[in-house]
Every structure is written in structure tokens, then in C-alpha cells.
Amino acid sequence: MLDGDITPTYLEYKAAMLEDKHILVFVSPDIKKSFLDLKDEMYDLYYQYQEKTKRLPSSPLEPFKDWIYQELHKNNLYSNIFKKADPFIWAFLFEIIREGNWLYEFDIAHSINEVKRISDMLSTSFRSVVHFINKRKEIQEMQSMLDYLDNYSSYTLELLEEKNKIMNHESDWSKLLEKAIQALNHQKDIIQNPEINPIVVNRISECYAASLYQKEGNILSLIGSTSNISANQMYSLDEDDIYVVDALTKRERIIAYREDKNAIYLTLPVNDFVVCCLHYRLEKRWTKEQVIAYEKEIEYAIIDGNEYFLDFFKLILGGRI
């Protein structure tokens, strides 16, 4: 026993639980049968302990310790059972069952056959998951995306509410942009050769500002912006080398860079009338040529993990304004 009425085996078991390991628990047939005779009484004592203390036990033994040692000094059915194993074993088995794991029998008297049976069980368990191994990255990405979507479930409702306010003339596009870019408030590494030899070449900031333009005839007019940025009030669709114009006319995402401001702009065409521009900064200053050289890596750093949100954001901005 270690300090706190726990054992090394118990700590190994808890570590395996935390890491979602596949756990098979083996116990001798006599101990398993005896434990099943105790199980209902132990559940009652466990719930009584929680009701009395209003907290979880610090050790599996804590809710049962007094009861077990009292019964050991008597001459009854319980004392005969408890003498078969250390008191901690009974408490440990109770936690294993309470946490949803199963107890498999292992009869030492027939150990050769039992080892073969365990080997068969492990082989069956492995076969049940082996086809997932080559999909591990995809599964991890799906889990990451699930966490991402879960975090933003209420946030997307807030954006919908803000859009409704705009439609009812109770708000404006600048307020919606301010709320939207809060979802993009994390820095990302710009990584060269991510699949072969990943090298972090720079870091891009959180999205610190955004601007929104609407097409009116041959003009793109500013209809919303955040953070007091000095966005142009309008652009002519005839102008050359203007990234918001190019994004609309080419119908594609465009990465642009202002070397004097060390600012990256991701322009998103929303529909035939609207284009959104998201503003980022680089941790290390780059030349325009370096940005062009790493354009794909920069775009990936911005989009990775945000693809679904940006698609949703474009839907919120979409529709005719």
C-alpha cells in the first residue's frame, strides 16, 4: 500500500482509464464469486458515503474501510469472505465494476488453457480495431473538429441573432464582424513541409480586424469594419492589383500583404455582391516576396481548423444585403 490507501496497480489502472486504454481485468473464480456476493452491500455503503461527505472518495477503500475491518473481527459470512484477500482488493474490484469494466475469470490451476484464452481475447480485441489504424489521423481530425464545433455551438447562435438584428435595422455589420472575429483569436504556426519535414518558418497572429464590402454598380463600398482600421471607403471594380476587387472578380480566396504594416489580408468572396477581408499580422517581418513564396502555407495556417466556421460565416454574410 502507498500513502493514501492506494497501490501501484491501482495507479496503473487509473492511468490506463485516463488514456482510454482497452482494459481486460482478470480475477480468480473464487474471488469473483465472493465479490459478487458483496457487490450490492458495497453499492449501498458507497452511496451512503457520498450522501454523508458530499464528495468522491480519495481512495477506493475509503467508503468500505471501517466496515471491512469491523467484519474481519467477527465470525460470520462477511468475515470469511474478507479473509480471502486484502481489504483493498474488494474496494478495487468495486471501482472496476462501478466504472463499467468487466471481470474475467483466471483460474491458476488451469493456467495453460487460461493463457490461451486470454491470447484469443486479445487477438479478437485487436482485430476489432486494426482496420482503424490507417485511419488514425482522419479520426483524430474528426475528433478535433467535433470539439471545435461543440465550442462554437452557442457562438453561432449569437451570430445568427446579430444577423437578425441587422435585418431588423437594430444593429450594423461592424458589430457582427467584431463578434465573428472572436472565433479567430488564436495564433497559428506557418509550417513548411508539414507532412515530410515540418519546419516552423513564422507565426501568424489572431485575426485582429475585418472589413466588409458590398458591390454597388461598378463600386465596392465599405459597409462594415472593426478595430478602427483605416480601410478604404470604396474601390472601383476597374482598379488593378486591389485584393478585395480581385477576390470578387476572380471568385477566389486571395492572400495579400502590406509590408509597411506587416499585415496579412485574407479576402473571401461571399457572393456576387460582397467580399470580406480578414486582417492578420506576422510575428516576424517578411518581405512581399517571402509572403508570395509561402502563400499556400499562410493560407493553410489561417484556414486549418477554421474551415467550417468560415463557411458558416460566409453564409451569415451571404444573401443579398
- What pLDDT digit, counting tens, does each position of 141-180 carry? 777 667 666 666 667 788 888 888 888 888 889 898 888 8
Residue of higher predicted confidence among 305 and 2: 2
Q: Above 50 in pLDDT, residue 320? A: no
Work out the angle at residue 84's Cα, subtended by the Cα atoms of residues 79 and 86, and round it to the nearest 5 degrees: 95
pLDDT of residue 125: 67
Highest mean pLDDT among 113-117, 150-154, 232-236 belongs to 232-236
Q: What per-residue confidence (pLDDT) applies to 154?
A: 65
Q: Which residue spans within 172-245 are E strands per DSSP?
A: 188-192, 199-204, 209-216, 219-225, 234-236
Per-range mean pLDDT, top range of 90-94, 103-107, 219-223? 90-94
Q: What is the pLDDT of residue 239?
A: 85
Multiple choice CATH, 152-317, 3.40.449, 3.30.70, 3.30.450, 1.10.287: 3.30.450
Q: Does residue 95 have a pLDDT over 80?
A: yes
Closest CA to 319 of 182, 167, 170, 197: 167
100: part of which helix (H) or strand (E)? none
Spans of all domains in the chain = 8-106, 152-317
Residue 264: pLDDT above 70?
A: yes
pLDDT > 50? residue 82: yes
* Distance of alpha carbon 264 from alpha carbon 205, whole angstroms: 9
Is the pLDDT reported for residue 36 higher than 90?
yes
